[in-house]
């Protein structure tokens, strides 16, 4: 069992290499073991490309040649962090491939909740007479795909709240002045996060006062879709959030209009259940995860609605003595770490 856990951890380590590229697919890692050595491994390609199992098989072919690798497969164990798919989507079913190559054993981290898979991939493999084990490092496998599981099970994106606050609990100056709280290292880390998530959201005040571009320019990776809550369309077309670096979706009370990089979506009864309505619209657009970055009122709206999954809070050593109080969130503290002189606290919402 310890050996199974070791190889499954390797699957998880591989899976995260797909962060920011596989959505709305899950992140999956696969490892093929023959006589106690790894002969092939892989992770899910960018969306539309081969899945982890296919890439692991291809890796084995490259290392040993197709003919010899196929012989090895009949004695080999393949470890996969998520149940192999059972349906034709962008690619053929991975479960069928494992059956075709007659693997001796298949070890699965956790089952896939997607209706077209959800136990069906496992059944295909079992019906072929292949020995199977399910549930190795199950909670870790589920956690690695918490974005995917949230979208499938709750019909909304995974919501990450993010802000910085002073040591005495202030979020921003009272006079709408732009003033940085966190340090340069924290700022770069935030840009890394942006490259890993599908979308990032701010409200009108943040767009007007800070004029953010909301890109991942300080990190190598894709830019997220930019989401703006702007009830009365006050943010001018010249704002940085409307540049050509990424698509911007504007939720408002007046107009629906879709252009190449700017999409206006009018919501009826605008203030009513606003976080819920926005997240459902984004779910329909296959957006799997979102960072809610500000301002304080926007963050608090998601907190008050109870619709958040993770909060990432930078606490600087600055003392302001006055200003706009930071949002208040109750969650389970997962980790605390140093980022330069800042302290980063990550909390999980156990009631979401």
Catalytic, 53? Answer yes
pLDDT tens string 189-246:
999 999 999 999 999 999 999 999 999 999 999 999 999 999 999 999 999 999 999 9
Model confidence band, residue 352 (pLDDT cutoffs 50, 70, 90): low
Cα–Cα distance between 162 and 197 in angstroms, integer? 13
Give the CA angle between residues 16, 17, 23 to the nearest 5°.
75
**What pLDDT is stored for residue 1 in this prediction?**
62
What percent of the chain stands above pLDDT 90?
A: 89
- Collapse the DSSP code of 289 into the 3-class scheme (helix H, G, I; strand E, B; otherwise coil) and give the result: strand
The total number of residues shown for the chain amounts to 352
Q: How far is CA 336 from CA 128, 132, 314, in A?
A: 47, 38, 10
Pick the catalytic residue from 41, 53, 293, 310.
53
pLDDT for residue 306 is more than 90: yes
Instruction: List the structure tokens of 41.
Output: 């491994």
Cα–Cα distance between 228 and 192 in angstroms, integer? 20
What percent of the chain stands above pLDDT 70?
A: 98
Average pLDDT, the chain: 95
Q: How far is CA 127 from CA 91, 99, 114, 121, 214, in A?
A: 22, 9, 20, 10, 49
* CA Rg value for the chain: 23
Q: Which is more confidently placed, 114 or 203? A: 203
| Angle separating helix axes 52-64 and 66-73, nearest 10 degrees | 120
Pairing type for strands 199-203 and 289-294 reads parallel
* β-strand partners of 291: 160, 200
Beta strand spans in the chain (E): 29-34, 37-43, 77-82, 105-110, 131-134, 158-165, 170-172, 199-203, 225-229, 248-252, 257-258, 262-266, 289-294, 310-315, 324-325, 332-339, 342-348
* β-strand partners of 311: 161, 347
- Collapse the DSSP code of 337 into the 3-class scheme (helix H, G, I; strand E, B; otherwise coil) and give the result: strand
pLDDT tens string 58-107:
999 999 999 999 999 999 999 999 999 987 666 789 999 999 999 999 99
| Torsion on CA atoms 163, 347, 118, 61, rounded to nearest 10 | 80
Cα–Cα distance between 283 and 199 in angstroms, integer? 11
Cα–Cα distance between 124 and 121 in angstroms, integer? 5
**What pLDDT is stored for residue 88 in this prediction?**
67
């Amino acid at each position: 069992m310890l050996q199974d856990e070791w190889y499954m951890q390797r699957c998880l380590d591989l899976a995260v290499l797909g962060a920011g590229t596989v959505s709305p697919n899950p992140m999956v890692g696969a490892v093929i073991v023959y006589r106690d050595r790894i002969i092939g491994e892989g992770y899910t390609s960018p969306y539309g490309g081969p899945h982890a199992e296919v890439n692991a098989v291809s890796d084995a072919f490259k290392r040993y040649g197709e003919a010899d690798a196929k012989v090895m497969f009949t004695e080999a164990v393949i470890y996969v962090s998520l149940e192999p798919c059972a349906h034709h989507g962008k690619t053929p079913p991975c479960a069928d491939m494992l059956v075709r190559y007659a693997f001796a054993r298949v070890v699965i981290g956790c089952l896939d909740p997607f209706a077209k898979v959800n136990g069906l991939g496992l059944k295909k493999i079992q019906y072929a007479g292949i020995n199977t084990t399910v549930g190795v490092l199950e909670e870790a496998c589920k956690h690695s795909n918490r974005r995917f599981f949230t979208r499938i099970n709750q019909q909304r994106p995974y919501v990450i709240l993010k802000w910085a606050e002073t040591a005495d609990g202030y979020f921003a100056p009272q006079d709408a002045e732009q003033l940085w709280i966190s340090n340069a290292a924290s700022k770069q880390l935030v840009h890394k996060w942006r490259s890993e998530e599908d979308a990032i959201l701010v409200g009108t005040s943040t767009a007007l006062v800070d004029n953010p571009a909301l890109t991942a320019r300080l990190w190598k990776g894709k830019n997220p879709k930019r989401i703006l809550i702007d009830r009365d369309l006050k943010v001018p077309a010249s704002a940085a959030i409307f540049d050509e670096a990424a698509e911007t979706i504007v939720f408002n009370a007046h107009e629906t209009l879709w252009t190449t990089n700017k999409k206006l979506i009018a919501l009826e009864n605008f203030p009513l259940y606003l976080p819920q309505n926005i997240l459902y619209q984004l779910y329909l657009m296959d957006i799997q995860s979102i960072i809610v970055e500000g301002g304080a009122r926007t963050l608090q709206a998601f907190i008050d609605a109870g619709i958040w999954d993770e909060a990432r809070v930078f606490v600087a050593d600055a003392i302001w003595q006055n200003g706009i109080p930071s949002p208040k969130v109750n969650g389970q503290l997962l980790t605390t770490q140093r980022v330069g002189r800042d302290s980063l606290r990550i909390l999980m919402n156990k009631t979401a």
